[in-house]
Structure 1
Amino acid sequence: MSLRKNPNNIFVKLLLGFWLCSSLIIALIGMMPLLQQNHDQTELPPHLENMLSKLAQRIIDSPQVLQPDSMKRWSRFKEKDGRPVRLYLVDENSNVLNTRKPSRALRRFMLMADEAGKPIKHQFRDELLFGPYEFKVRGKQYALYGRLPEHHPRPWFLFFIDNKIITLSIAILLSGLLCGLFAWHLGKPLRSLKRSADALANGDLSSRVDSATAKRNDEIGQLALAFNGMADSVEDMVKSQQRLISDISHELRTPLTRLKLSLALSRKKGQETQETQRIEYEADQLEQMIAELLELSRVKLNASESKRNLELAEALSQVLDDADFEAQQQNKQLHIDIDESIRVPLYPKPLSRAVENLLRNAIRYAQSQIIIRTSVTDELIKLEIIDDGPGIPDAGDLEAIFKPFYRPQSARDRESGGWGLGLAIAEAAVTAHQGQIAAGNIEPHGLIVTISLPR
């Protein structure tokens, strides 16, 4: 896309932004000497010109005052308001005749006046110099300059002329501030994009870039629109996949029901054999697997219920009672340490099913005890389920056990008799809460599964 077609792109913004920022700083600094010159240096006012004119006429009328002894008397006098005036007589060779050591300010002012080409006045720090008034005596060219001990308040911005280090520091600070604002303007939509991408990566398929970013006319806006389009496609694809699994599971139940009905009719006719018993067992296993698949698809689609703000202990009370009973039947102890004051927005059924699957898994492999406990931080609520079983020796399996149909090579899962869907359901339920689930081994033996939910 050319600049002519889209002048609002990132290249133009970067170019204009930094160019205008640097140009503004350079212009402000460059204008300060000009502002100082316009303030300090102006044309010679009439009353000062009259003063020089009268003295020049006096010298013309009485040339003897040019004698060194006479110069001392007329080069210093007072104005009507009492201010002392110092006058300087300069010959055609720019030599100051009535002083041996002319000040640096006087020499500087003489150059300024020569450059201006006309009589001027200039305000130095604590004195006012004015002139020249040119005249001739006996065919020789002379010029008169004057000095008044005068101090005028200067505008605040001229302070920076005399303090170059402070001026440079302020220029750097101002440049950094302007560039920072410009960088913030460009970085804000990028941060919005990052948040949406992180949320999508963590399983929040409804995450989209905000409309303000998507409506921008530059490449960031185009990227936001492309991201939202991608997120729509991903969400549709994932939900279509889950619906497909759900539909297939529903459809499989129909022939499965017919198969079990045929087995029941065979029994009535006295045709029960070892083969028919095996067929019935496998049919039951298939029915349980289909039920697990349906549960997994329901949890991932979040179609069963809406979030509610509930006490965690109350939402898990039935699951904990059932798990305690199951543990007692196997001569194992379940220790429950859940703060009843903890409240969290949740989907009750999916979270209950997740904790139920984890507790059953822990009870199955625990040697003597299982612990379920909670801890709270400023941002997270952690729910930990710990057993003293053999754990999972392979570190790679600790992350993969939450994938559907994953079967690690450890004895822990080979003896379970499941299909690798229980932990997948737990992971899907936690992801639906924008949380995280992780497993880890503990010493000397055992497994800990941690569910982290945002507060």
Structure 2
Amino acid sequence: MGRLFWKLFIAFLAALTVSGLLVAFVLSLLYPRDRAPFAGSQPPQMFMVDTLVSVMQSSGVAAVRPVLEAWRMKRAPAPLVVGPDGQELLGRAVLPVQLEGARVVLIDGADWRVIEPERGALRPPPPAGSRGAGMRLPPPPLLEVVTALLGALAFSAVLAWYLSRPVRHLHRAFEALAQGNLDARVGPLIGTRRDEIADLGCGFDRMAARIQRLLDAQRRLLHDVSHELRSPLARMSAAIGLARQDPTRGDAMFDRVELEAARLDVMVSELLDLSRLEHDAGHAPAQMLALDALLRDIVDDARFEAAARGVQVDLAAEPLSLAVHPVLLRRALDNVLRNAVKYSPDGSRVQVGMHSDGACVRMVIRDRGCGVADDELGRIFEPFFRGARSGGDAGHGTGLGLSIARRAIEVHGGDIRASTPPEGGLQIDIRLPRS
């Protein structure tokens, strides 16, 4: 058992023990077990007098003596019964003043007087060592104390175990995660529990899952980067080797080296952009921007590049404004549109549209190129992924453009998706929230 268990256990045990002892003490004072029947609650005085009078009238004076003896043995203040000769029936002393107001009962022509206890009760002396009749202290509540202690012990142990158990699971999961076990989860161990500790466990599972996804993504990115860098470096090395073998081909080989170096520069630049988006994006304050004007500038740049191949870029945009990060959004839209122009056949058309769609702004970019297979639509936004229909030709780009676009859109709280229209090609849908 951990320290939290013992802290909870001792705290609950102390609280329950104190409360149990107080309850037991109060109950023992209110309901003592061995107290004399009349020690704290004597019969009413008039009831005792009426009882004696009724017994005398029905059974005679002789029947009164046992009743008085019983009351005296129980140390109850019994009434005085005085005969015609002035003697009390049990031999108790009677003062003349006590005879005033006594009940008179005529028995066989003689007057018998019954005096109330408060007028003439002479209580027997209390036993040695006692505190007086009716005032004995109650016996120690041993049974109550033992029962309270056992109940408090069991309840505190169960409750402390119940509260500390998920914390122990969390501790083990944190230790496993710290040692590199990214599959550590506490949700299955907590079960159907629904409280703040269970919420903490669910938060740990979400954190562990996100860390696992990030590390997996970093491993894949590192693998892809090493693979992508190896290809141009290998071509550069081959070109240098050929130039040494055949100096007459030196100019052509140096051109090839220069081309591969330029591709490496572009790739490194885009990797840096992707890294900045992963770590630093979203810190700059957003600015209110006319999206239709931004989209028009991007389309004009794309038209200049597409004109050489006869590709036409059409734009239909509603006048809309939104608080965005201008540099990031421009980079995202430019990457998507350049990708559409790049894979469009000569003389084809690229359509760009923007309109308000409820609580968001929707942008659609559609081309008439070779498209993407349905099972690859979700992967085209991964770094360095190239669809099978593109031929996997590295000369078409670095494979980072759509990854940068997706991250930039996510920074704005939006999403980007790809689909294949019935008429062919590829359609990219971008949605940005308006608030």
Which bracket does the TM-score occupy, shorter chain normalised?
A: 0.3 to 0.5
TM-score in terms of structure 1 length:
0.45
Instruction: Look at both structures and tell me which one has the larger radius of gyration over its CA atoms.
Output: 2
TM-score in terms of structure 2 length:
0.47
Larger strand proportion of the pair: 1
